[in-house]
Structures are given as C-alpha cells and as structure tokens.
Structure 1
C-alpha cells in the first residue's frame, strides 16, 4: 500500500511536464501556473495521507471505541429489499354517525408496510405488516415463493390471503370500492380471509385458453380464538387433519377480442371452526366453564365472473369492468353435531346461506372512474322461513387518481330496511397513498 501511494505522488508531480510535452504550448501563462498549483496541491495531499497511514498502528484488531469499516453490510443495491408503505385514511360523513369499527369520523384505517426481495435464484420473500389503532401491528402476509419449479407451477409457504373468489386476494386499501362486498364480509371476514400454510398453483391450457389451478392448506379456516373471536372449544379445530382449512380455485381466462376478455372461475373452501354455544353454568354446561364453543364444519362454494373492456387506441382514457360473484355457505348444524358433544345450547348458524354482489366501473377520463355495486346476503343465523334474514344494499363510487400512487374515493351506500333492521345511509370519503415501489395488483 505504501508503494502504491509513493507511485501516485511521483505520478502527480510528473503530470504537468507530461502534459506540456504532449500538448501544444498554451499562450496564456496563467493557465500553466494554475495547473502547476493544482498538481502541487494534489501531491501535498497525497503525501499527507501517506504520513497518516504510516502513523496509524498496524494491528489486526480494531482499537476500543473505533467503528469497524468492513464489508459486512449489503453494498449491492439488489440485496436491499423493496420497501413500500400504503396509507388508508377514512372520513365517515354518514348522517347518523360514524359506521366505522373504531367509531371515529376521521380515522387512519390502516397503514401497510410491505417488504419484498429475491432471496436467491430459487425463492422470493414477501412481508406485509398492517398497523392500526385497533389491532396494533399484525402480520397480514408473510410468505416465501418458490419461483423455479418445473411444469409452470409455483409454491408458497407462510401466511397469505386465501385464493377464494375474485376480491379476497386483494388488500382492502387496493380495492376498487371502499370496503369488501358484504358477502365477503359476512362469510370470510371484514378484512377477507387469510391463513398460514402452503399454497400451490399450476398453469394449465388443455383447451387452448389460459387456466390456473390454485390449492391451499392452512392451519385453520376463519378467525381463531387467539385472533379475537372470544370463542373457545374443548379442543383446537386443527387437532385432526380434517380440521385444517382447505381451498381450491380454478381460473379460466379467455380473450374475446383485442379489447375485451372474460374470466370465469369457481372456488371452494372447507374447514372446521368454532361456533358459539349458549352456556348456563348452573343448568346447561356439561364441561368446563371456559368452553363456550363447539367445532363445526363450514364450507364455501363460489363462482365469479369478470368482464373487462379496454380499447387499444384509448386504453388510457376509456375502460369498463363488470364483475359478479355468487357464494353459498354450507353449515354443519346442531342436529349433525349431536347433543352429547355440546356444552350447552348451540347458537351457531341455523341454516345454509347465499350471498352475491354485482359491481361495475366505467372510466370517464384518464383519472376519473364511476362505479356502482349491489349486494345481497342471507343471514345464516336467522330462521330459514323468515324473509328478513336477507341483507340488501346499493352503493355508488366516484374515484379520482392523481397518479398511480394516490387515490380519492367518494362512496355513497344505501342499506335497505329488512325486518328489525332499519335503513341506513352511509357517506364515506377515502384517501389512499403509497410511497416506494408500487406492488402489482392481483389480475
């Protein structure tokens, strides 16, 4: 190292003479003098640096209090994961008070922190954390994907949104509406359904059009007692293999023209989950006082259709989406469970239930969209013969996108009266904004 610095000092002192010998003489002497001064200053700086290096103790271990300057950190930008943050802010201006879970008129509904990176040539890792005042910090998704599997297949292990239906795999802040359709909220949860387990997909094309098969097996179906349901059965639902949650989805995609395409898919999911039991410790309970639920099988069957239209020459300014989804929830009831297995009076779903929605969105300008949705859901806890067990709502949305990183939505919803349920009008303004790399939306 010392020899290299001596060589640089000599080279810096010889540089002015070398330049004079190769270039024609410069008529202005002040330019030559200025170049000589710069060369001498560089030489002096190199000599001083060399003196500092000679005065520094050459020991292998760093001195106490010094900061190590090794290459332990990732210096390659490709090793640094992509980091993005999405904010979801709600202003509930409903005339009869806030309809949000928090009860606030203005609320930061959630902040999502996403990190994704290639682990190596064979795996990719994705992490999505949700931050909210109600739930604190929650793991929304965290999985590793095997990207080098043969036969056009892929696999994941970790936590992910179940591939059931069309909209459940989309995060709430990235929906084309403010909230999930009411059928998804009723059958899968207010924030959709996710689980921890394994996920497998394979692309098929036996009939000349695109098909994709998705299969999952997760620890449990729906929310568990640890996630805030407050239900505790005598044993975990996942104690046996048939108590795990399983789902399957078959996507079928067809190009109708250069400007239009159609997706028609079917889904199914099943698993055992805790259902409530009305327990009077003095009369009904035959087990521990802490047991207030029983594990019952619940299954979902669904079909969804999505039509997209976007003209080639006006793709930035005109588009149209028509989407519909039908679900049926099949519940195991008290007659199938048996009285001996119940710690009290069964208070779970009394019947099978159906739900559906129809959604459409038309692009008015490059940044403005107008949408509408109609929801219909049956109440699985209502008596089968009662007509008031159905929920109906109609909503309209006006969307404005200043850019692909921000969105403003004005939503108006009318929930119709049925039985003891009164009509309700909701007026909600949503603002979402993202920083960092924009992660792709599910297609």
Structure 2
C-alpha cells in the first residue's frame, strides 16, 4: 500500500471516530482510541514490509540489467585457429620439453599422443572342441583339441583412424602355427559416408565368410565356404571402401568394393600377381519393432591361372537373413533364419565349369541361456559339378554368459565321392568357447 493512500485511510478513520466521539460515553471513546492505535501500528508494519520488498525488487532489476548489458557487450568468441594456438601454447608451457631451442609438437601431434596414450582394447578368445567321427583320418579324429586361440588388438590411432589386429594360433597338419589373421586400418574422416580400409582382412563375401570362427552360430563354417575358399575362408591383403548409399527412402544400403591379392586356391593361388575384385551390396529393412530382414548380393572375379586374365573364375552370391527379437522379451525369445547361395563359373582347360552350393540355417532361443539350431548344406566341388555333398546338422547351445558358451552338435554328411574311404559321416561335437578382455561387438 502506498503512503498517500495510507494517510487518506487514517484521515477517514479519524474523521469517522471524531464524529462518533461526541455521541459515545468516555469508556467507549477509550476503546476506540486503543483500536485506532492498533490499526495504526499494523499499517506502519505493512508500510515497512512494502518498503523492504520494493528495495529487493529494485535491486534484482538492477542486477538483471547489468547482466543484459554484459551480454550485449560480450566480445566475439575466438576462432578455432585461435583456440588451437592457445591450447598449443599451454601444452608447450606445461611440457618439460619447453626448453629454448627445442622444436615443440603441434596441436594435431598432441591430440595424437593423447589417443596413443590410451591403451588399446585387448581381447583373447579360445575355442576348445571335442569330436567324434565315424570316418577315420580327419583333422578332428575322435579327440579333444584346442582348435583355435585368438588375440585381438583394437583402438584409435588418432581422431581419424582406427586399427584392428587379430593374431591366430591353431593346429594344422598336426603342428601349431601362428598366423596374422587380420591387421588393417580404417579411416573415418572422409565425407559422403565413405569408410576406406587397408591391410589384411576377411573379405566381405556373403554373410558367413566375414565372421570369425567363434562368432558363428555353428561349430564349423558351411560347406560352401570350406569347399570354395578353404577352411579359413576368403581373406587376404588389400584395400577396400564401404559406402553408405543415400537414397530417397532413407533405407540402409551399404556398398563395399574390395581389391585383395589373388592367392586363394579357388583362383590362381599364390603363384600369381593378379588381384581379386569383389563387390558386395547389402540392404537392411525394418519389418516391425521386432523383425528385420537383410539381403545381400556379392560378385567377385579373378584370374585362375598365370595368364593375367585369359582364364577367369567368377562368383555370384546371394544371402538373406531374417531376425526376430521382440523388444519386451528379447532377452528370452528370439529367432534367426539365414540362407546363402553361391554360384561359380570357372574357365578350365576342358571348358567352362559351372558349380553352385547353398545352406539354410535356423536358430531359436528357448530361454535366456538356451538356443537350439539346425542347418542344411548342399555344395558341389568348385572344379567338378558332378561331385557334390549335402549335410544336416543340429545344435544345442548353452549361453553361460556373454563371454562363455557351450555347444553340443551333431552333423550328418552324405557324398557321392569318397573321403578317406567313406561317403558318409556321422559327427558329434562338443564345443567350449570363452573370451577375455574387451571383445568387439560382432556385425549385426
């Protein structure tokens, strides 16, 4: 309440009381005077409170105006170059190498050292297999075997480049060997969603070949991978680039082009100096919140002799993968169906040989840690369409944790040719696979 209004109220009260004073007895006048004093005291308290509140409001408004003036007069932010120079100067001042006359590293070098100082991700994977076979003389012949031991290193070299290295230790023809399975650099700084890499890597042919042995949902690679590319699959030294293709539908379309050395036995082998050219197209579709579908096409070609292209082998592949994992119960229920078809045309001395093979597999997750699966294989041999084999396998997997699983499997194989004296195989597998360290996530 403002002061002039307060005075007006007091005057009205006094005038009213004065007019009534002559009509009231002395005792009543005394009571009125006391009431007037109490009312006056209350008004004085209210006036003091109003003054304090007004002072606080004025102080707050003044502070807000000062802040606004400071914001209006704020100097321009330093440019990235100025920030870089300032940070470089601070780094030079803090380092012990700041002695006069000694060249100081630049900002990029300092950032690179920061990335290098962080330890790379180190992982270890071990694959232990027990095996029984009705056929004698195979690589796995009624025995337990530490089949494969893998050590991986992965990490960022600098803000633009990462490195992946995989060393493998395994038994071959009764002896243990150490191989450099993968060692490549991936550059992450290019525009237009381009991601090149170079070094030694597993080739992106189809769905099963790019995966390491321990990442498979089966004990062994499908027949088409082993028969056409060998037990270790198609890999080699070379370069490649991955392009995330823009499209109006905003779908995930990935195109991969790779050039690797032509040292696989399917082509010319290690005696040639030509290259394998590979093109892979992958499309990914979200069917629902729980289901996805991935479709891939692959083409690869290379000379299969020393004639620098006079005789060639061409490969075409098609892969289809369906996954179902409901968001609410995905930890306990899921389904995977994966199919792959491969066709080959090889220019041989007697003419062109056309062969093909395929597999189809399904996995169903019964509970959080239990998975059952099966796979059917059919494959002709790369150099003869008249020789073929087919097989049926079933698996039961216990996922003890993210880093350890146990798998029991059975595989039946029927051929129209002899392998170590037999056309049919009955095989039983017991697999234990475990990992240590920071193991990278596998491709979806």
1:244 equivalenced with 2:275 (yes/no): yes
Q: 5+ unaligned residues in a row in structure 2: which ranges?
A: 1-112
Asked if 1:215 corresponds to 2:216, the answer is no
Residue 136 of structure 1, CA deviation: 1.0
Higher-helix-fraction structure: 2
Give the corresponding residue for 1:407: 405
Report the secondary structure of 2:230's partner residue.
Answer: coil
Aligned to 2:243: 202
In the alignment, the residues of structure 1 paired with residue 209 and residue 383 of structure 2 have an alpha-carbon distance, to the nearest angstrom, of: 23
State the partner residue of 1:85.
124
Larger Rg: 2
Alignment-derived partner of residue 203 in structure 2:
162
- CA offsets per residue over residues 281-318 of structure 1, 9 Å max, x none? xxxxxxxxxxxxx9842221000000000011101000
Partners of 1:407 and 1:142 lie apart in 2 by: 27
Task: Return the match for 1:115 from 146, 149, 153.
Answer: 153
Partner SS for 2:405: strand
Shift of 1:224: 9.6
Contact 2:115 2:159 (C-alpha < 8 Å) held by counterparts: no
CA spacing shift, 1:218–1:329, aligned 2, 3 Å: same
Q: Tell me whether 1:377 sits opposite 2:408 in the alignment.
A: no
Question: Aligned match of 1:367 in 366, 369, 372?
Answer: 369
Corresponding residue for 1:125? 163
Q: Using the alignment, how far apart are the partners of 1:93 and 1:75 within structure 2?
A: 52
Normalised by the size of structure 1, how large is the TM-score?
A: 0.69
Name the structure 1 match of 2:426.
Answer: 425
User: Alpha-carbon deviations, 1:175-195, whole Å to 9, x = none?
Assistant: 110111001111122121101
Matches within 5 A, 1:42-441: 79-97=118-136, 99=138, 101=139, 103=141, 105-134=143-172, 136-208=177-249, 209-223=251-265, 236-238=271-273, 243-274=274-305, 296-335=311-350, 351-382=353-384, 384=385, 386=386, 389-418=387-416, 420=418, 422-441=423-442
Would the aligned equivalents of 2:183 and 2:200 in 1 still touch at CA under 8 Å? yes
Q: Secondary structure at the match of 1:184?
A: helix
Shift of 1:77: 8.9
Deviations 1:69-127 (A, max 9, x none): xxxxx99895211111000111002244574x264611111100000110000100110
Q: Is the 8 A contact 1:122 1:148 kept in 2?
A: yes
Report what 2:17 is aligned to.
Answer: none
> Gaps spanning 5+ residues in structure 1: where?
1-73, 276-293, 337-349
Q: Following TM superposition, by how much is the alpha carbon of 1:237 offset from its aligned partner in structure 2, in angstroms?
A: 2.0
Q: Give the aligned CA root-mean-square deviation in angstroms.
A: 2.4
State which drifts further: 131-140 or 426-435.
131-140
Shift of residue 273, structure 1, vs aligned partner? 3.6
The Cα shift of 1:381 comes to 3.3
- Report the CA distance shift for 1:425/1:207 in structure 2 as closer, same or farther (over 3 A): farther
Distance 1:98 1:410 in 2: 22
Distance 1:172 1:264 in 2: 22
